[in-house]
Structure 1
Amino acid sequence: MASADYDRMKEVKEFDESKMGVKGLSDSGITSIPRFFIHPPQTLSQLKSSSSSSSPGIPMIDLSNLDSPHHRPKIVDQIREASKTWGFFQVINHGVAVSALEETINAIKSFHEQPQQVKAKHYVREEGRGVMYASNNDLYRSEAASWHDSLQVWMAPQPLEVEQIPEICRREVVAWDTRAKTVAESVMKLLCEGLGLESGKFKELTFSDTRVLVGHCYPYCPQPDLTMGIISHTDPVVLTVLLQNQVPGLQVKHGDEWVDVKPVPGGLIINVGDFLQIVSNGEYKSVQHRVLANSCKEPRISIVMFFNLAKWKDSNSYGPLPELLSPEKPAIYSNFTQKEYNDNFYSKGLDSNPSSIRLQYKITIIMW
């Protein structure tokens, strides 16, 4: 029960204005976390329901021989099945060198390990454009804060002046935008083929032309059983490409259990976003996922690349693609406008209840 003299908003504001982030709190040597990071009992009780170590984990798909007439249909089948049943899969042999992956991870880690006064120059709360470094993008909207900091860089469709990107990771961020886009567009072709569409359909619809890179840092948390790294959410985009270091923490909801996503050296994680679930008329699934608070001394680093459309249709509304509809398979989602889409994301915290939204259209509120 909250005490009468506890002013949560005051503490949140003081933390935010300090610009120290959770990395600063962790580095200061605290042994107990601030009260506004403590999650409610119903959230914390679910942390104990993780899958057993015998769980197979999310599907692993080998993209080598992608252009082989013999292998490509098999890869299409694997991706279609993974997207229908898991909403998540991990790809290997995707064409990006391991050294490039490591350089990207190290660059984002280097940004977060800079002195507070250096990072503070980028600490702002202006979502949806440019460069933003902050702790918890929904800090003032959520019921409880989560134990992570983020560097957010909007790469497209609006031109970004490269000089805006922090110098310590500028080269790697620009390079990763190109590399991740190449991987995403290859996967989108396979996803199109899995739906019986022309392989270039998603590219034609500009599904990879809005891109935002989010470099998360999950530092050591002294009380990981009382908070979350990021709470359960889905991604309100077309597709997400995730690069992470070897510190665990990501979990995916599969059926009634939470499954640990084990980091694989050289692997990239792909997940279906809400927008793709809608346009596929529910064939592909956008599923809940979360990150546990980090109990390791080594920080968990994840680089998330979100892909979304840049140009709305002439009608300025979207719903299931007409090509996928028939009398036997009618639309199961209503059309929605760009304004409804954006308002739904920016008006609430991550912990919104998605079930109440699915009745109209499947857009849930997530961490960008």
Structure 2
Amino acid sequence: MEVEGTPIRVQSLVQDGKTVVPPQYVQPPETRPHRHIEKRNDYDAETPPVIDLSNVNNIHEQLERACREWGAFHVINHGVGVELLDEMRKVGRSFFEECAMDEKLSYSCDPNSPASEGYGSRMLVSSNDTVLDWRDYYDHHTLPLSRRNPSKWPDFSSNYRKVVAEYSDQMNALAQRLLCFISESLGLPSSCIKDFVGEFYQNITVSYYPPCPQPELTLGLQSHSDMGAITLLIQDDVGGLEVFKDGEWIFVDPLSDAIFVILADQTEIITNGQYKSAQHRAVTNSKSARLSVATFHDPSKMKIISPAFELPIYRPVLYGDYVSSWYTIGPEGKRNIDALLLL
């Protein structure tokens, strides 16, 4: 959600030649990154697994390990054309780098509604005192089809809307396929998790992280776990995504042909905590702008989510209430799902 009044975009701060990060973007010492992006994983650390979806012989075993230990993993041979991934990155970057600021602002989000469609920078309520992220974004409402209104999407490029629509359909199909595999890896019917989630409410968010003059003080995106069911993400070759595992922040190396899968909170609830939603964040750098595209697949706000197993450790929750809490009090890691624990 945008700060009331004239919208401030991070990209405009950089274009104005700021050499010092404004105070509202400075993270407290305990949440600042402790490693420059240029160094990446400069120690002997695990990295998220890469799962080949064409290898049907041990896919369930690989998924079980990845979902239990990480809650996140790369997939390759996923059935989505590499050309489409490249086109989605290309049209996303073109909006931020080829459109004048006045044109971009004509697509601004509704400043009075969280998660509204359009161009923005701040996703939380204006009364929230959370430090701002060093990020601009464009959020598209893409599914169900009743929400998809391409006339609200940028039209500066002849194929922008076509690429986003095709990308939406491909991500929808892949998300459904993955949830089937994930259900089977737990010994559940293949449709189990998808049946709990119901019809996907899909948003595609293109995030743009301008170069930051003081990356050691900022985060591109604060630590959080996604609130929905499953997120599919691609990033450019700059990189900046980190996943929290065993008390450490692990840098996720960009793989241009892969799609990064992030389990979200409702899947953790449905699997009764056997599979974890991944806590993650984005770090900034001083040299290059970074782009990522995250496709979120969520339940309807009227859907009640509960564990699929006996002896539940989470209480049922109306998804709309969960969303309201997330946007009102802020994410702060996994505190929203932890509030549902019965133990």
Partners of 2:186 and 2:112 in 1: CA distance: 37
Indicate if the aligned counterparts of 2:325 and 2:336 stay in contact, CA closer than 8 A: no
Q: Which residue of 1 aligns with 2:315?
A: 334
The residue number in structure 1 matching 2:285 is 294
Aligned residue in 1 for 2:28:
40
Shift of 1:43: 1.5
Cα deviation for residue 170 of structure 1 reads 1.5
CA contact (8 A) 1:51 1:257 kept: no
Aligned-partner residue type, residue 38 of structure 1: V
Q: CA deviation at 1:197?
A: 1.5
Aligned pair in 2 of structure 1 residues 311, 143: CA closer, same or farther (>3 Å)? Answer: closer
Give the RMSD, CA atoms, in angstroms.
2.4
Instruction: Write out aligned runs for 1:64-143 (5 A).
Output: 64=54, 71-113=55-97, 114-124=99-109, 125=111, 127=113, 131-138=117-124, 140=126, 141-143=128-130
Change (3 A) 1:139 1:334: closer
SS in 2 for 1:170: helix
Contact 1:205 1:311 in 2 (8 A): no
Identity of aligned residues (%): 28
Q: Which residue of 2 aligns with 1:146?
A: 133
Paired position in structure 1 for 2:270: 279
Partner SS, residue 360 of structure 1: coil
Q: Please, which moves more after superposition, 94-103 or 271-280?
A: 94-103
Deviation at 1:18, TM superposition (A): 4.0
Runs (5+) with no aligned partner, structure 1:
1-11, 65-70, 363-368
Paired residue for 2:327, among 316, 332, 346? 346
Determine which of 150, 154, 159 is the counterpart of 2:147.
159
For residues 1-368 of structure 1, what are the structure 2 equivalents within 5 Å? 17-44=5-32, 52-64=42-54, 71-113=55-97, 114-124=99-109, 125=111, 127=113, 131-138=117-124, 140=126, 141-157=128-144, 158-167=146-155, 168=157, 169-207=160-198, 209-297=200-288, 299-310=289-300, 312=302, 317-321=304-308, 324-325=309-310, 330-351=311-332, 354-355=334-335, 358-361=338-341
TM-score by length of 1: 0.83
Equivalent AA in structure 1 for residue 192 of structure 2: K
CA distance in 2, matches of 1:93, 1:82: 17
Q: Larger Rg: 1 or 2?
A: 1
Secondary structure at the counterpart of residue 72 of structure 1: coil
3-state SS of the aligned residue for 2:215? Answer: coil
Number of residue pairs aligned between Structure 1 and Structure 2: 332
Structure 2 length normalisation: TM-score? 0.89
